[in-house]
A and B are shown apart, each in its own frame.
Chain A
Amino acid sequence: MLSVTQIYAQNRTISGTVTASDDGLPIPGVSVKVQGSKTGTISNSDGKYSIQAKQGDVLVFSFVGYSSANHTVSGANTINVKLLVDSKQLSEVLVTSYGIERSKKSLGYGTTTVSGQSITATQNTNFTNSLDGKIPGVQVSGSGGAFTGSSILIRGNVTFTGNNQPLIVVDGLPIDNGGGNTPLQSGPSLSNRGIDINPEDIESTTVLKGAAATVLYGSRGASGVIVITTKKGTKNKKAEIEYSGSYGFGSPDRLPDYQNTYGQGNNGVYNKALATSWGPVIAGQNEVNFFGQNEPLKAYPDNIKDFFQTAHTAQNNISINGGGDKTTFRASYGNDYDTYVIPDNTLRRNNLTANVRTEVTPKFRVGTSFSYINNESSRTQQGNQLSNPLFRGWFIPRSYDLQGLPYQDAAGNQTWFGTTDNPYWTIQHNRFHDETNRVLGNINLTYDILKWLTADLKVGEDYYGTNNNAIDDIGNKGGGNAGGSSVGVGGLAFNENTYRNTDVYFTLNGTRTYGDFNFSLNLGGEYLDNYQNYNQQLAYGLSIPGFVNLSNASTYVPTNSTYHYRIAGAFADFVVDYKKWLTLNLKARNDWNSTLAVGKQSIFYPAAALSFVLTDAVPSLKTNTVSEIKLRANYGKVGKGPTDFIYNTSNTTFAAAGISDGFGPTITFPFNGVPGFGLNTIAGNPNLTPEFTKEVELGGEFGFFKNRLTIDGSYYHRTSTNIILQVPVSNASGLGFFTQNAGSIKTNGIELGVTGTPLKWNNGFWQIGVNFTHFVSTVTALAPGVSTIFLGGFTTPNIQLVAGDQFGQIYGTAYQRNGSGQLLLDQNGLPMATAAVQKIGNPNPKYDLGITNTVNYKGFNLFFVFDIKKGGDLYSRNYADVERNGVAAETAEFPRFTGASVNNVPVQTTPYLFPGVYAPGTPKAGQANTTQVSAQTYYGNAGKYIAAEGYIYDTSWFRLREANLSYNLPKGWMDHSPFGRASIGVYGRNLWLYTPHYKHFDPEQNALGINNAQGLEFNSQPAVREIGVNLRFTL
């Protein structure tokens, strides 16, 4: 027997190929081990392995992201293995804060991870635009215009006028994502600096939402944290080159529905100098145009459509990654070239990234990662200003030959009937160019002091400089770049901004097991130094048209400002679990902020979280239906520290004198060569504390049908207090603002993430993810004596905070109404505006619903995201403009003229009636209105437009946000080629949009860009529908 056994027990070579069950492609780097022995190997780049094993040995195949598989060696020498994708396991371990890894199962708070694949599915240049609909509890809102990003609001607003955007952490270190605020009445739309991240470098993105999740970030954690892990090399893997590229075409996703019956003019009479289309019926009659030429009046149905061009997006990325026994590496280069639907807008981005990590000794590891980003763009003016090509471009008279008529003379002087800049002229002559050069880098040392104790040190730097230079050319009418003083005479605006953030952290991480208890403790310290410098040179009075150089100007207004703050922090993260089903997590951070007064700089932030896996505690609960029940609860307190000097300085400081009347006219100092200073009307306050956000969260994770259906949900209640506010005070005090810890906000919210696989078949599956976000942020108190805070906008409409109401409501003039809500109309049957502004809309959606779908069949993979938003009001100036200027289709719904005319002026029909009663003081006070009015009166300035209320619309939408269909070329085709894997695909964004209450435009716009003030749209530029192809292969 013994000898026989020995014979059979002889080692022989077992070989085979490991492939993935979903796409059938070989998996390189799979660990193959003989159970119970030290023998092991790894599959090669073709997924092939060979190993010495005996009959009866059990081979264990394991690879991250796949379920392990065991195969017993029997007679055959070839064992081919298919590994099953384990989506559950993928998210099992995630990075929380400071590189600390935790198993998801043990977390007592909700988090969401978005894969890099999902972020690059539709080739968004700006990764913030790829998160919409994918994260429960997070509201992602695009801001419109060229190359802009999205506002990311995690679990509501926590501050009034400060930044509500989350902290973005890349590989453990914070990076700046500022800069996405778009000015209301000047300049181009601006990109948030998150655009510097190459989405192709992102491995995954984990969103830490609540206070208990983010507490280790202390005074920076209140708005949530987006933790980005970048792609790294894999150990013991042959170097692999990966290329991905895409090319897309974009066009405005919605254009207004225009009338083409009536021409330029007023009251039915042609007028060559007016912007309105209330003129005569277009019938080929002869008119003298603005250029003094005789021209038959005709409609130009596409004069606006033809203004737009096809936008192009080209992305090319190449990377190499791999690793040996001790060292892993990845290097990548990304190139991105985008244009916009408005001519002369371009964005060029180059990303060069490399990381390497090596084991110096078995206990000592060194890693480093560096990125260099060059980001350059040219942009056109936007916003509520005369140099925005679409300020009046959306309502160019229907009879105006925008493409055919000249807009400048031979010398480049503008020739145009309007008081705004001609769209083509402003694009060519009022230019803005910027360039950012950025370095993100870190060095990481890790040392295993003991088997269970590791020390980790990371030093990181985020450094960038942005230079922009812009010109308002001679003859401009808007002064968009350099301000009103450049109107006519021309102006230049040069900005030079420097940003540096140095961050050092040290952690000591230990884990121990005592019986059924597992302990883990992370202790850490962090030191952060942030410096920002802004130099600006405005220059006026140009002599050479189009020459963008400061020597071209005659007067100059230079300004500069510097900000510098430091934060020192110490933190601890303690976890104890009992048999892995009951986990208690205690965390705390203490911060010392330089921006607080000496003696008041130390602030403590604690948190506790509990996770209870019921199905592990009571295994008998597990059935075929119920696979997992986990309950969690937590409490945390985080903060938002001040980042400016002013919060702490004495309450009398001075600033360069200057005065402005709010309409453009401005006096700056030095004036006439004489310097001037004046009291800084924003008083500081040495008694400030950070803002605090406390949060209680209850949630659970439930798995059914062997986790084919999972539900992850949270309810949370958060209160933010001590909100730092430049509290507006009576100017009669001599001040304008007094910095105080003033108000409070509370947010209640529910978030649900449901993942299900409704269909599963041999060669594929259909997986649905439903992400539901609902929260209500309510302003509970403003500063004493303050009834309202102005967040942004105009006299009417604007966005305000009012105690007791939801965050950021839309205020503006309303129609006057009587006690029973009927419109009060003047004797001409027209509505009247209220003298004071009042609440006219709520921009906050009732809920956001994202539905992600992945359908996999053989090599085909279809990914698409529905983005559903319910509610959310918008004041739309574009909508108002196309109506009040008589270009929208509905303004010609009824024939405007009877056919008769008096003194050569056509008699207008009066098909419209404002429903309501005559106002007190009118002859027929109290009686129902019977005065019918014409289309021009109804839609004109004195009609529907008279009150801002008239253009508040519910922007509820249902859109196909993203779609990508890709095909993985079968492995067989690749065998005899140099390629490893290859896929081709088509993708699209904003493919379909349904807005039941909104016409003419895509309502996903915000006049102020990424800003706390949401709900205003002013003269915005179109959102883009993009369709493209992409290709990806490895060598």
Chain B
Amino acid sequence: MKILKYSTLVLAATALLTSSSCKKALDINTSPNLPSDVPINTLYSGAATSVGFTAGSDFSRFSSLIMQQFAGQTTGGLTQPQQWAYYLIAPTDGNTLWANCYSTVLVNLDLVVQKAGTASPHYTGVAKLLEAYTYSLMVDTWGDIPYSEALKLTSNLNPHYDAGQTIYTSLLANIDAAITEINATSSALEVPDSSPIYPGPFSQTKPQWIKFANTLKLRLLLHESKKNAAAVTALNTLLSSGAQFLANNGDNFSAGFTSTPNAQNPAYQFDLDRVGNIVANKYIVDKMNNSSDPRRASYFTDFPTGSGLYVGSASGDDPSADFSKLGTYLEGTTGEAPVRMLTFAEYNFIRAEAALTLGAPGDAQAFFQAGITASMTDAGVASGDITTYITAHGTLAGTTANKLEQIINEKYLASFGIAVEQWSDWRRTGYPTISVVKSAVVPYIPRSLYYPETETDLNPNANKQKSGLDARVFWDAQ
């Protein structure tokens, strides 16, 4: 049958089509959009900038709203900052932050460590410090989180959770390792001069990285001190070890941003994109108004403009635009303010507290005043105004508890808008004595965030969702 003959012909042609030549024609599946490998410095730049971005966006917003430094407001519909400020912080609200931490910051820092290997210890050291900083914020925010099984890509899609204490112990050990690596005399590859954190030739920034490493250790040990006596010992040992700590505002651990769109400070961008959603909080504004705090001019915008007056909003206030907004300290004039993550001021307040309550060396009063001075200097306050303020408010007095309250209250002012730490201080000490807001949806101030919805939905090995926002992280002893 002819039909058969022709069928065979077509089939043969088809077979030919699908043989060798066709195989080549079909072998076009290499993406021109996504490289399969990239240089280490590009990974580092992306990750380091993201460290600053996460700290200056969600981490800062959640903790500053909870701690009544920021207030949620609106001139239209209900806004998320309003909800967060009255503690309606749903599991879904943490999705983006959690994803940014692991999938944008940590995984790439991990790849930097892997790529640098033993040949480039400066790189591994710096990456480990940034990892330690980010992980510590996460533990302080959520409690137990994936750590030892995390970042294994497709080889472990369902990482188990590690106890916060275990993670802290590992972070402190990693910081020690990082210090050793940063101190190495040579490194095949160097952290680029363009680093958004401690920019400049590594030979010059190296001491700053070491100072930051030690100060971060201080911060973590202070967190643990409430619960763990060994941490108190370790803190005192560290202080007497001759280790270098942040020594001036130039040593501040901060990430740089610019005035250029898409490179601006995240707080500034938020204010642009969500006009009027975050304004100054009545609590901190009133506190600073009472003491005529000279930092107000850079912390807030005045209202009405040009009046030199500052007006904060409290949760539950009617919608209005008639409030002070965040000022140049956090935003810059066009988004160029750095995101401050661990400051010389904080170092001094840590020392003041440690001297007061943990038997650490040094004079609490001196550190207390140094902390205020560092903060005010960083906020551009003239030295005369600093002296005036310290004269009026710089003397510790009363019981140890009274003095501690003074220290933490001042630390709270110095930590304006910082990621998590002002919230951690309150959880550790109960200071400043903020109250549950008027329109609160729960009868307490949150002590940690819910695990993100994505995590409880997608990770069968995730910890059970918390019963409430009053769940405590490991160092937040009763």
A665 touches B25 (CB 8 A): no
CB of A731 within 8 A of CB of B99, answer yes
> CB of A645 within 8 A of chain B?
yes
Binds A, one of B104-112, B231-239, B426-434: B104-112
Q: Taking A419-B275, A683-B154 as contacts, is the C-beta distance between A730 and B459 under 8 angstroms? A: yes
Q: Which residues of B contact A555 (CB under 8 A)?
A: 260-262
Using Cβ atoms and an 8 Å threshold, which residues of chain A touch B7? 508, 521, 523
**A557 interface hit (Cβ, 8 Å):** yes
Chain A residues whose CB sits within 8 angstroms of the CB of B437 once the complex forms: none
| Chain B residue with the shortest CB-CB distance to A666 | B262
State whether B146 touches A732 (Cβ < 8 A).
yes
Proximity string of chain B (447-464) to chain A, C-beta cutoff 8 Å, 1 when within and 0 when not = 000100111011110100
CA distance A158 to B149 in the complex (A): 36
Whole-angstrom distance between the Cβ of B87 and the nearest chain A Cβ: 10
Q: 1/0 contact trace for B143-166 toward A, CB 8 Å? A: 001100111111011110000000
Closest to B272 in A: A487
Known: A266-B319, A477-B275, A941-B77. A540 touches B261 (CB 8 A): yes
Cβ-defined partner of A594 (8 Å) among B18, B29, B443, B458: B29
The stretch among B30-38, B283-291, B304-312 that forms the contact with chain A is B30-38
Q: State whether the Cβ of B196 lies closer than 8 Å to any Cβ in chain A.
A: yes
| Contact (Cβ within 8 A) A675 B42 | yes
Given the known interface contacts A672-B194, A730-B459, A734-B151, the answer about A679 and B111 at a Cβ–Cβ threshold of 8 Å is yes
Does chain B have a CB within 8 A of A926?
Answer: no
A487-545 contacts to B (CB < 8 Å):
487-489, 491, 506, 508, 510, 512, 521, 523-525, 527, 540-541
CB pair A654 B49 closer than 8 Å: no
Knowing A479-B273, A672-B194 are in contact, say whether A654-B22 is a contact too (CB < 8 A).
no
Bound together, the chains give a CA A669 to CA B48 distance in angstroms of 12
Is residue A392 contacting chain B, with contact meaning CB distance below 8 A?
yes
Per-residue CB contact flags for chain A residues 468-490 toward chain B (1 = under 8 Å, else 0) read 00000000010100001111110
Of B3, B43, B319, the residue contacting A453 (CB under 8 A) is B3
B228: interface (CB < 8 Å): no
Stretch at the interface among B89-97, B244-252, B380-388, B414-422: B89-97
B17 at the interface (CB under 8 A from A): yes
Contact of B356 with A by CB under 8 A = no
Flag if A664 contacts B103 (CB, 8 Å).
Answer: no
Q: With an 8 A cutoff between CB atoms, is A411 at the interface?
A: no
Beta-carbon contact of A275 and B318 below 8 Å:
no
Which residues of chain B have C-beta atoms less than 8 A from A665's C-beta? Answer: 53, 57, 264, 266, 269-270, 273
The stretch that binds A, out of B8-16, B213-221, B368-376, B390-398, is B8-16
CB of B45 within 8 A of chain A? Answer: yes
CB of A273 within 8 Å of the partner chain: yes
Specify which chain A residues have a CB less than 8 angstroms from the CB of B92 in the assembled complex: 795-796, 836-837
A683 nearest CB neighbor, chain B only: B154
Interface range for B: 35 or more
Answer whether A732 and B159 are a contact pair too, CB < 8 Å, given A652-B153, A671-B196.
yes
Instruction: Tell me, yes or no, whether A733 is within 8 Å of chain B by CB.
Output: yes
CB contacts (< 8 Å) of B263 on chain A: these are 667-668, 671-672
User: Chain B contacts of A672 at CB under 8 A?
Assistant: 194, 196, 256, 258, 260, 263
Is B26 in contact with A592, judged by CB distance below 8 angstroms? yes
Say if the beta carbon of B58 comes within 8 Å of chain A.
yes
When A392-B76, A654-B37, A659-B53 are in contact, do A669 and B153 touch as well, CB less than 8 Å?
Answer: no
The answer on a CB contact under 8 Å between A592 and B154 is no
Give complex CA distance A941, B91 in Å: 21
Q: Are A730 and B462 in contact (CB under 8 A)?
A: yes
CB contact under 8 A between A678 and B146, given known A555-B261, A645-B30, A665-B266: no
Within 8 A of A (CB), among B285-327: 318-322
Determine if B457 and A788 form an interchain contact, defined as CB atoms under 8 angstroms apart: yes
Does A649 touch B at the CB level, under 8 Å? yes
Chain B residues within an 8 Å CB radius of A646: 31, 34
Q: Are A653 and B75 in contact (CB under 8 A)?
A: no
Segment of A40-48, A160-168, A562-570 in the binding face:
A562-570
Determine the chain B residues whose CB is within 8 A of the CB of A420 once the complex forms. 76
How many angstroms from the CA of A253 to the CA of B150 in the assembled complex? Answer: 55
Give min CB distance, A897 to chain B, whole Å: 17
Residues of A with C-beta under 8 A to B53: 659, 661, 665, 667
> Per a CB cutoff under 8 Å, which of A506, A568, A788 touches B22?
A568
CB-contact partner of B46 in A521, A601, A676, under 8 A: A676
Q: Within the complex, which residue of A557, A649, A663 is in contact with B34, where a contact is CB–CB below 8 Å?
A: A649
Determine whether the beta carbon of B102 is less than 8 Å from that of A525.
no
Chain A positions within 8 Å of B50 at CB level: 657, 659, 667, 678
Q: Report the minimal beta-carbon distance from A790 to chain B, rounded to whole angstroms.
A: 9
- Which of chain B's residues has its CB closest to A785's CB? B460
Q: Are A733 and B2 in contact (CB under 8 A)?
A: no
Q: Does A651 belong to the interface (CB within 8 Å)?
A: yes
Q: Name the distance in Å between B13's Cβ and chain A's nearest Cβ.
A: 7
Cα of A728 to Cα of B95 in the assembled complex, Å = 12
Query: Is the Cβ of B78 less than 8 Å from the Cβ of A945?
Result: yes
Q: A662 at the A/B interface (Cβ < 8 Å)?
A: yes
Residues of B56-107 at the interface with A, using a CB-CB cut-off of 8 Å, are: 57-58, 75-78, 80, 88, 90-93, 95-104, 106-107
Is the CB–CB distance between A734 and B102 below 8 Å? yes
**Smallest distance from the beta carbon of A395 to chain B beta carbons, Å?**
9
Give the Cβ gap from A888 to chain B, nearest Cβ, in Å. 15
A682 (CB) vs chain B CBs: closest residue = B34
Asked if B27 contacts A598 (CB within 8 A), the reply is: yes
Q: Is the CB of A734 within 8 A of B269?
A: no
| CB-defined contacts of A881 to chain B, threshold 8 Å | 77
- Any chain A CB within 8 A of the CB of B47? yes
A735 and B57 form a contact (CB under 8 A):
no
List B contacts of A836 (CB < 8 A): 90-92, 453
Cβ of B457 and Cβ of A674 under 8 Å apart? no
Tell me if B98 and A731 are in contact (CB < 8 A).
yes
Within 8 A of B (CB), among A855-897: 881, 884-885
A736 to B11, CA, bound (A): 44
User: Are B17 and A527 neighbours in the complex by a CB distance under 8 Å?
Assistant: yes
- Set of chain B residues within 8 Å of A927, measured between Cβ atoms: none
Say whether B207 faces chain A, with CB atoms less than 8 Å apart. Answer: no
Q: Does A274 contact B (CB under 8 A)?
A: yes
Q: How far is the CA of A593 from the CA of B26 in the complex (A)?
A: 7
What are 20 A-B pairs with beta-carbon distances under 8 A? A477-B275, A525-B14, A561-B32, A564-B32, A598-B27, A649-B29, A649-B30, A659-B49, A661-B270, A665-B266, A672-B263, A674-B45, A678-B104, A681-B104, A729-B458, A731-B99, A732-B98, A734-B103, A735-B107, A835-B90
12 additional A-B residue pairs with CB within 8 Å, beyond A525-B14, A674-B192, A885-B76? A419-B275, A489-B261, A510-B3, A568-B25, A601-B26, A663-B273, A665-B57, A679-B107, A679-B108, A732-B459, A733-B151, A788-B457
Residues of A within 8 A of B (CB): 266-267, 271, 273-276, 392, 418-420, 449-450, 453, 477, 479, 484-489, 491, 506, 508, 510, 512, 521, 523-525, 527, 540-541, 554-555, 557, 561-562, 564-566, 568, 570, 592-595, 597-598, 601-602, 645-646, 648-655, 657-669, 671-681, 683, 728-736, 738, 785-788, 795-796, 832-833, 835-837, 881, 884-885, 921, 941-942, 945
The 10 closest A-B pairs by CB, nearest first: A657-B46, A664-B273, A734-B107, A676-B46, A485-B261, A665-B269, A540-B261, A730-B459, A732-B146, A645-B31
